[in-house]
Amino acid sequence: MGQTAVSIGANVFQFFTRNPRGGAAKPVDLADVQAFAEYAQAVGIGPILAHAPYTLNAASADPAVRAFAEKVFLDDMKRLAATPGALYNFHPGSHVGQGAEKGIELVAEILVQALAHAGPTTILLETMAGKGSELGRDFAELRAIIDRAEAALPPACPKARLGVCFDTCHVWDGGYDIVDDLDGVLDEFDRVVGLDRLKAVHLNDSMNAKGARKDRHEKIGKGRIGLEAFVRIVNNPILGRLPFYLETPCDLQGYKEEIALLKGLVK
Ligand code: FE
Ligand code: FE
Ligand code: ZN
């Protein structure tokens, strides 16, 4: 994966820890992990971001679904321990009619287990578009999950291991105006969650209007967020120092072109 990233001009990348729809992961090949670490160091690859399967729902009403989420979390923490400094991103989940408060309680419960086994990995909650009963559209929900999980942590666990991944398509679809008021949105994020929690950005345009709660990613500059807004996003002093990960509907050549386009926007 490292060589592929370098071949398209990237210096960070995101990957799924297993089939994005869930299922078993390949065993960790420690020699392979070591070879990657040396390569990453040599060519200057920054933090790698592992994405949990998006079918995982830690807020489900079904105990079997939550047990599966916990199993995947713990297994992924074990695997990522081989790559110190990695980031692990997950979708907080959907409360499916139980109400946001109950959902927050259930996610926090599993997060405590994951954090206790996180070792050198930072776990990130992703800002969500708010499709259906999805948690994490509202910054306040992210804060509530973080507070609840951290309050339940045994005292020996370090507290700096929970962060947030800012997905531009999701935040926009969730109703935050990152096009005309990026500074205002970041101020609000700071007030509600705290900018020190912000560890990564998913850089995506959106097919839909602000507040649409649809979550359909578009290529950079081809959607409703638009290129002008991305000029401000990549040059923003807060966002600009974070690693950016593209999740646009592109093939490898398309990503190469988008990376070149984005680099060209940096002032
Ligand atoms: Fe995601
Ligand atoms: Fe995302
Ligand atoms: Zn999305």
Residue 164: give its domain's CATH number: 3.20.20.150
The rounded distance, in Å, linking the Cα atoms of 81 and 216 is 32
Q: Is the residue at 61 inside a domain?
A: yes
**Cα→Cα distances 96→2, 53, 134, Å:** 38, 18, 8
From the CA of 202, which ligand is nearest?
A: 2
- Domain with 224, as residue range(s), is 9-19+42-265
The rounded distance, in Å, linking the Cα atoms of 123 and 112 is 11
pLDDT in tens, 161-200: 899 999 999 999 999 999 999 999 999 999 999 999 999 9
From the CA of 165, which ligand is nearest?
A: 2
From the CA of 16, which ligand is nearest?
A: 1
Q: Is the residue at 4 inside a domain?
A: no
Q: Is the residue at 192 inside a domain?
A: yes
Q: Is the residue at 31 inside a domain?
A: no
Q: Is the residue at 95 inside a domain?
A: yes
* Ligand 2 geometric centre to CA of 202 (Å): 5
* Ligand 3 geometric centre to CA of 215 (Å): 5
* Ligand 3 geometric centre to CA of 90 (Å): 11
Buried-exposed string 106-118: b where 16+ CB fall within 10 A, e elsewhere: bbbbbbbbbbbeb
Band the pLDDT of 160: cuts 50, 70, 90. low
- Tell me the whole-structure pTM to 2 decimals: 0.96
In this prediction, residue 79 carries a pLDDT of 92
From the CA of 213, which ligand is nearest?
A: 3
Q: Other CB atoms closer than 10 Å to residue 263's CB: what's the count?
A: 10
Band the pLDDT of 122: cuts 50, 70, 90. very high
pLDDT at 22 over 80: no
Q: Which amino acid is at 172?
A: W
Of 203, 200, 205, 210, the closest CA to residue 180 belongs to 210
Domain count, the chain: 1
Q: Is the residue at 254 inside a domain?
A: yes
Q: Is the residue at 35 inside a domain?
A: no
